[in-house]
Structure 1
């Protein structure tokens, strides 16, 4: 039997099998997307439904009030909302420049034999349980803040006319600022890992051309590396911000768990996640409703942050495309 007499495969049946497999694969993908959307919607709606009693009773007063008194059934969520946002902002102000320095050091400055061990050590920090960070913050960072940092801030910056109110208060150690420090240490591995990976995608010829023209490492990082990787860097920053907004145990150890609103960053406060974790187990029906409504607010805040990040990335991509 020669090649001319060999039976040809049934192309029609093969095309039919491929079409069925393609449809099956498409439905599997659609099913996974629908599952994720349904899970998110059900989680949000369940918290909203659980908090309906307080929402119907207090309305917008729940968000704008600072009076949190479960004994009198008064629930004002402004203090935990403020603590959540401020601790996350402090964490980003510390973590972003540190992460950029780590990423640029590993990609441009560190010798090749040192990049692997340092990169691995930083990535391992992301796997440490948050309760370990909280215990470290309570037993190591809080004494340092009490003895050295908060007295210096109070004496140096607390006397300034505009920002002085942010750094006034007794040297307690625990507070909003300490929680921000702990959060910064927790999110640095995430942001620096993203930055390092995207910095490695910068074409070598661009950096070598800049060095050949006499540019310094700082100029290369600011004028070449950052503009080239801007979109991915912003995405990594918002990824870390989302992690900081929802962190619970580490913050609960060092934030002070005080449901009061103070202008000073040195005073104790609380966050939404820490308040829920501390009080949910012993909450009564109305108090549980308030905590569930707080959870829904945290969900909305996190969703809004990620939506803003997505919008910014789309705008940057459109601008770069033009």
Structure 2
């Protein structure tokens, strides 16, 4: 005799597995009539829920455990996912790994999963092979058929470019830091897209090698006759480094140079002057991941349609940015001793 599962009861009653599970568990979220009908059908079919059966109300959230650069964002995502899961009646299995076999085992034990960070192709392939709903938080290939929740990196770059131009800055740098992070590249593309339309703006990109400090890049720019008055940095940590180096060289911020970060993480308000930055709403991203999984589990989205959810960032103005008040060449020149 075939094993009676929640899916069979759901098919017989015309309800979702979510509603069936809550009815059999005696939990809230379903009407008394629905609960009685589910219990009656389960009894007729001879359903007995074994103690070893995976909990159909558990969602997996799997963070890439070596993606340390985004650790504060991941903490916000975790908080948002936990709050939304509790509201919707799910339990969460939080895990930190990049091993494909472990990813597969976690997804197998859950009704659906969120994969956060740069998991590799094998990990994704093993997760999708199980046929469970998967939501990604990280970068996708163009038109990849996958559900995704993310921010607005390209738009953020364009918004910061408009902001700095409005403040009067005409010599602008995008400080890239260590290359290889897709979000940083998208912000660069957004900045460039706007500034290319302004013939009077000179725009440059600074990419860091591990052994070359920001000061050396700035000295090279000065030697080339380029004296920037505004720096948009790829993340808040990099912005703090740039501000510290500029002030060490005698720059006044924001009188001689404006600095903008990205993220609005805790460090943004722990420096003086406090950092103007683009706020990334990580907690809302985590909540959106859980809502999207819930929509998939309950069949609210056509199975052949992939969904992208974007949580829009916002410029948070603080004291590190201001109107350009001095000519470009009036700012301190980096001496050769540095």
| Same fold, TM-score > 0.5, yes or no | no
Higher relative contact order at CA 8 Å, sep ≥6: structure 1 or structure 2?
1
Structure with the larger strand share: 2
Structure with the larger helix share: 1
**TM-score scaled by length of structure 2:** 0.18
